[in-house]
Amino acid sequence: MKQTSVDKQPDNINTSFFEDKLKIYANVFENLTEHSLLLELLPLFDEQVFFKDPFNQISGKNAVSKLFKHMFLTLHAPKFSVKHFAISEDIGYLHWNFDFYLSKSDFLNQHNLKTIDGMSQVKFNEQGLVEKHIDYWDSGEYVYRQIPILGWFIKQIEKRLSAA
């Protein structure tokens, strides 16, 4: 694993440039709406951006746009909150929470808010555009365990594997 001293970055890497880009990216995610998706988020991506999360593996700005449009169509009041960030050369890391409601009635009643805790690895190209975004979060905890019958089986497996 390549490690670089905090005091000295390689000559060809301008960490403050990428740190500024990561801060902008995090801010856009925290304020993401259907409207800002096209105007603010998509311009931050390279045309051939690679995006991956536990359920998707896609390439290109159009595919990323469809993914986020789908999010706004299927979830109510989706909101990202960036808790921490770090940068190493041209790769940034975001620790975030993603809050949402599954139904409109839950949203209207402010009941049953769902929260996913996750991390993103974000790689920038030389122009400071995002060329890779990979999300890491536990789909077992936040999705599969919530499905009634499947959740029961997963809990049984966890009991057998647990050291406690």
CATH number, position 92: 3.10.450.50
The predicted pLDDT at position 49 comes to 99
Residues pairing with 80 in the sheet:
98
The predicted pLDDT at position 8 comes to 43
- Output 58-63 pairs: Cβ under 8 A, ≥24 positions apart: none
Structural domain of 98: 15-137
3-state secondary structure of 132: strand
DSSP state of 39: I
Q: Is the residue at 19 inside a domain?
A: yes
pTM summary value: 0.81
Phi, psi torsion values for 130, nearest 5 degrees: -75, 120
CA-CA distance, 109 to 103, in Å (whole number)?
A: 10
Residues pairing with 90 in the sheet:
none
How many domains would you assign to the chain? Answer: 1
Segment-wise mean pLDDT, segments of 10 residues, the chain, 164 residues: 40 81 98 96 98 97 97 95 96 97 82 93 98 91 70 78 80
Q: Is the residue at 158 inside a domain?
A: no
Write out the H or E segment, with its range, that includes residue 151. Answer: helix 148-161
Q: Is the residue at 1 inside a domain?
A: no
Q: Is the residue at 125 inside a domain?
A: yes
Q: Is the residue at 68 inside a domain?
A: yes
The predicted pLDDT at position 5 comes to 36
Q: Is the residue at 73 inside a domain?
A: yes
